[in-house]
Structures are given as C-alpha cells and as structure tokens.
Amino acid sequence: MTFDRALARLSRLVDLDVPWQWLPNARADARYALYSALEAEQRAAATAPAAPTEPARILGLAQVAFGRLRGLLAGVDDDLLDRDPAPGEWPLRRTLSHAIGVERSYRANTEFALARGDDDRLTLPPDPEQVVRTSAGEFRRPRPDPADTAGGVLDIVAAFAKRRAETDVALSDLTSDQMQRPSEWGAVQDSVVDVRFRLHRFASHIAEHTVQCETTIAALGVPLTDARAIVRAIGAMRGAHERRSPRATLDALDAALVARADAVGV
C-alpha cells in the first residue's frame, strides 16, 4: 500500500512550482518531481522481462487499466465514497463493488470454461447459490464479499489489487488449446465466445468503470488538476510492469516516490 499512499499524497499537490532538489547540484520543480517519477516507472517497464505467454500479456493490459483506475482514485477523500453524484447515479463505492465483483465473476467463469465438459452449460448461472456439478467438480459464481469494499479508498484499492493478483495467478499460463475453449458472455447470450475473448474482457471492463468513476468524481466537485492527471499516468505505467519487475525494483520505486512526496511537502 506504500505506492498508493504516495500517489495519494502527490495527487494533492497544488503548487507545482515548489522547488525540488533533483540532483545534488540541480534543482527543478514539483512538476518535474512528478514527471521524473513517471520516467522511473517507464524505465522499469522498458527493462522488465517480457511476459512469457499470450495470456500473461493480455492480463498485463488489465493491470495497466487497473493502474489507471488506482491513479484516478488517488487523493479522493473517503467521505466521497458513498455520496450520490446525482439522483439515480451510483456512488463510487457501489461502482467499485460492481467492478471487483465482475473481476471475480469473470475469473470464475473462465475457470469453469476450462474445466467444463462438452455437454455442460457454457457459463455459470447468475445466482451464486446455484451450483453446477460437472465431472471436474462443483462450480458456482462467487458470492459478493463485503470486505472487498469495506473501509476507505486505499482499502478498496488494496482489495481490488488482491483480486487482480488472484486472476493473474490463475490464468496467466493457459495453453493455446485452453485459449480456444468455448464460453458464453452475458451481454451476447446464446452466442459462443472463447477464453481468449474472456481474458480481454478484464481490461475493458475495468476501463468501462474507470470512466464511470471519473464522471462521478467530476460530478462530486473534485477538480482534475495537473498533479492528479500525472498521478494517473504514473499508476498506469506501474501497471505496465509490476507483474514483471522484481520486488526489489518495486520497493525502490516506492521509496523514491515517498521521498519525492516528502521533498515537495505533501
């Protein structure tokens, strides 16, 4: 959570002309402190080992989408999570609950597609209490977990990050044959899709509800400052490599991000 706390601090920068001691004999401003952080993430993305499989590369796109979302949420006050942006519109917590729930549901349906027999139904029933029994075992859609959206913004981001990691561990090493296994997606009922299609849905669904969150945040009166826009780019770039970079690299980037926040006084 060090990364997200540092992003939240940097997103609150107002005066981007505050001096920043860039090098021992070189000063810049807080604006470049942010862009320098983005460049550090870019260097990590450029030097990280390549994702070894097509599924890992596809799910890497989902992590970029998630990074953009966590950057968007950085610095959003906790008391805005349950505030209705307009009559009939979802508050942020409900949108994030849906996004996390679908992450889990997509994973369960993909795992079911890999295990189902040819004569079994194509997708899990919408009711999580309804069990599908196959020769490979019992399957059901995940029950909602209130812990996924309990607490404040940073807690929800951490819970979403955990669910994303579960997806990637489960589905990053699929074979070419597994990628072609049939399934069904609810938006196109009675139309057969495959596991490859399902993997691509993870990123696009996160992007869909990032747009929704962005609209909600704007309606709640939170301005899109330069700092918040750059932080969003930093979040996306972290997503581009965090599954491929060594832990030591991520820890060093986090420490440097905290140091930048300290140096510019946020």
> Tens digit of pLDDT per residue, the chain (266 long)?
899 999 999 999 999 999 999 888 888 999 999 999 999 999 999 999 999 999 999 999 999 999 999 999 999 999 999 999 999 999 999 999 999 999 999 999 999 999 999 889 999 999 999 999 988 889 999 999 999 999 999 999 999 999 999 999 999 999 999 999 999 987 566 678 999 999 999 999 999 999 999 999 999 999 999 999 999 999 999 999 999 999 999 999 999 999 999 999 99
CATH classification of the domain holding 91: 1.20.120.450
Sign, CA dihedral 110-115-120-126, equals negative
Q: Would you state the pLDDT for residue 188? A: 60
Q: From residue 103, how far is each of 43, 58, 100, 246 by CA, in Å? A: 29, 14, 5, 25
pLDDT at 192: 87
Which is it for the CA torsion 171, 142, 205, 213, positive or negative? Answer: negative
Global confidence as pTM: 0.96
Task: Look up the domain containing 119 and give its range.
Answer: 2-263
CB of 116 closer than 8 Å to CB of 69: no
Give the per-residue pLDDT at 18: 93
| Contacts within 8 Å (CB) and 24+ apart, 11-15 | 11/71, 11/74, 11/75, 11/225, 11/227, 11/228, 11/231, 12/75, 12/227, 12/266, 13/225, 13/227, 13/264, 13/266, 14/225, 14/227
| 138, containing H or E segment | strand 137-139
Which of 156, 167, 17 shows the shortest CA–CA distance to 74? Answer: 156
pLDDT reported for residue 150: 98
Number of domains observed in the structure of the chain: 1
* Residue 26, pLDDT score: 83
Residue type, 149: T
